[in-house]
A and B are shown apart, each in its own frame.
Chain A
């Protein structure tokens, strides 16, 4: 009863999806559920704070940093394409640009939080707005940070000359995650800066 005795009558090629992509897609589904709960909590509590400050009073729309983050999706996409074609310099420069743009976004979040905490007196325990705002934006910033760390690790290996065309699939998995972080920002931006005011 050897397993080899079982034969496939029609010898068609047998290809299955890449496990990294499937796993990242699953992770994205799970993360989306977490973000959904935080977004629901944010929307549920809009306008229910018993004390100030309110979003209308203190929030400023971070248009420049949003453009930074969203354009980093483009740069990482083309970085991946260049890696596939073996254009190392183009890959490296676009990859580094992605990190810079992501870093700029994180700097923007930090700047905004600094202003809110020290100038406007809004902390996570001030009122419901503070609790939901810092949680939702903080959860997103946490994901940006994790993404940046992973991008940096790839960059370090790339500058050491250890990232080649054979790693395209793995780099694409990482860029799936980065696209997800950007897409979540579109939702968070809409909820916090458009609908929530």
Chain B
């Protein structure tokens, strides 16, 4: 869009040497480039974490399998969990937030561009540290080459006696470093949203995407930090001979569990709230209606933010807390379902009576609504303490939280990819490949995670590397493994789509979806300074006002 561009005399030099391009990317402080770096980095780790889970699934395909040793199996599920949460889900969401928030609020960059770059490289360095443990984790003891303590790293597994060598140190440092990166990004997001909004963009006019990510960033400040504190204590224990989690000196293993889950449970909401944010942008655009219940959506999100801080010990019902604590955490866990239900109601309210366009982003969004509801329902089941006593540490729990993370977070993310890829690259993703990706992934997902509930109910525990025949688990596990491979094929289709569409996709133009938020008024991809003139807004849907001057939203505010 020429009218939106500043002409720089003697501007672009064609045919730059690749070293210059590389240097530009490494030294960049531009929020859009950092956003893309986050996303590409997360996709690399998604493939790594995916390979690890395929190894696990091959091992569990039938009883008495010996594809990998028990030691390797432990390393694989530890690395899979740590990778997927800290080095896939967090960075990819931060990538989208980084890319989109300044564009949506009409700013030219984040509040602290250099802090932004610093945070990204901290996270990236954390991921490298984690994977370097495959090479450097043996230390002087020849014991273990990758972390094998589980992603929750319960004490005393992490004590020097049970975890010699350096693999646990790599795990601790990787998580600590990426945590600092997350805190830096969260500070940056909040400062950007509060201080850099364009004229007219009152808090009550911000797109829901921005609102929800403001809440997410606020949560990051208080939930990532307990994990950092716990990791510092663990380092003190391992390196300075401290006794925080050393039961022989009076320390408590349960305290680590508390510190870990004070982080661990709200973390799920840190991951899902940006996905709610994606939904709140995609569903209205593809239903051709404004979002239903904007103020209630904001209130429900803030409510989730608060309530989710007091639910963590539902991960610990089997530890043996007293019945008052059990009741408290059961009630809060069920209560957090209420604002979440309000949100699902509002999204359905948005779709109700709308002219729904079944493009790929919308397909993923509808699947998200359906699956996230089911995931929430098994969550409510597990919030019942006696039920949890029966099924905690079984595959039912594994199926539940993968339903949240894959069926909820990953589906929402795929929707976001299809929705914003045109903005980021200037090219549309192929709808044909997108449909293939969607249906393959949907079938694979349900084959894997619907079926996975059943061995859990039959009593199959988590984290076992193999099992006896004759328990009725074999066929179910085989189906789960087949589903996992179908998902892997779908991911390959997706990555292929990302690559091929970058070169051969249809030209997107500035506003391919006829959307209403400010990012679609910038060119695709946006210029380094985003907006030649800082926009001024008068309503929640500034582009609607622009396209329909005879009936702008602003006259109803």
Contact = CB atoms under 8 A, between A and B. Distances in A.
Task: Choose among A37, A41, A50 the residue with the greatest number of B CB atoms under 10 Å from its CB.
Answer: A37
Contact of A8 (B230, B242, B243, B537): B537
A162 interface: no
A6 B545 contact: yes
A52 to B, nearest CB: 12
Nearest to B111: A19
Give the most central of B191, B243, B262, B537: most A CB within 10 Å. Answer: B243
B251 interface: yes
Interface residues of A, number: 40
B546 interface: yes
Interface stretch (A25-33, A78-86, A108-116, A164-172): A25-33
Contact of A23 (B4, B187, B200, B545): B187
B241 interface: yes
B199 A8 contact: yes
B242 A1 contact: no
Contact of B243 (A44, A125, A139): A125
A128 B251 contact: yes
Interface in A1-57: 1-9, 14, 16-19, 22-23, 26-27, 29-31, 33-34, 36-38, 41, 44-45, 48-50
From A9, A38, A127, residue with most partner B Cβ within 10 Å: A9
A131 B186 contact: no
Contacts of B536: 3-4, 6-8
Nearest to A31: B225
Interface string A117-141: 0000000110110011001000100
B534 interface: yes
A6 B542 contact: yes
Dominant secondary structure at the A interface: helix
A50 B255 contact: no
A37 B243 contact: no
A23 B221 contact: no
Given A1-B521, A50-B249, A128-B249, A30 B242 contact: no
Contacts of B195: 16-19, 22
Given A3-B521, A4-B533, A14-B200, A131 B243 contact: yes
Contacts of A3: 4, 106, 518, 521, 531-536
Interface string A50-89: 1000000000000000000000000000000000000000
Interface in B521-557: 521, 531-538, 542-543, 545-547, 554
Contacts of A41: 233, 244, 255
A24 to B, nearest CB: 9
Given A8-B536, A27-B187, A41-B255, A124 B4 contact: no
A131 B4 contact: no
Contact of A124 (B228, B236, B533, B542): B236
Given A7-B536, A17-B195, A135 B226 contact: no
Contact of A26 (B191, B200, B538): B191
B273 interface: no
Contacts, number: 145
Interface residues of B, number: 63
A31 B197 CA distance: 26
A21 to B, nearest CB: 9
Nearest to A2: B3
A112 B77 CA distance: 46
Given A50-B249, A125-B240, A29 B222 contact: yes
Given A17-B194, A22-B194, A125-B242, A37 B229 contact: yes
A135 B230 CA distance: 12
A181 B531 CA distance: 40
Nearest to B542: A6
Contacts of A17: 194-195
B191 to A, nearest CB: 4
Contact of B242 (A14, A26, A131): A131
B112 interface: yes
A122 to B, nearest CB: 13
B226 A37 contact: yes
A46 to B, nearest CB: 11
A6 B225 contact: no
B249 A127 contact: yes
Interface string A84-97: 00000000000000
B252 interface: yes
B523 to A, nearest CB: 11
A26 B111 contact: no
A14 B196 CA distance: 11
B233 A125 contact: no
B101 interface: no
Contacts of B200: 8, 14
Contacts of A22: 111, 190-191, 194-195
A43 to B, nearest CB: 11
Interface in B75-122: 106, 111-112
A132 B250 CA distance: 12
A22 to B, nearest CB: 5
A117 to B, nearest CB: 13
30 contacts: A1-B3, A1-B511, A3-B533, A6-B537, A6-B538, A7-B536, A9-B554, A19-B112, A19-B192, A23-B111, A23-B112, A23-B191, A26-B187, A26-B221, A27-B187, A30-B187, A30-B221, A33-B229, A34-B225, A34-B226, A34-B229, A38-B229, A49-B250, A124-B236, A124-B241, A125-B243, A127-B249, A128-B243, A135-B232, A139-B232
Interface of B: 1, 3-4, 106, 111-112, 183, 186-188, 190-192, 194-197, 199-200, 218, 221-226, 228-230, 232-233, 236-237, 240-244, 249-252, 255, 259, 262, 510-511, 518, 521, 531-538, 542-543, 545-547, 554
The 3 closest A-B pairs by CB, nearest first: A125-B241, A3-B535, A37-B229
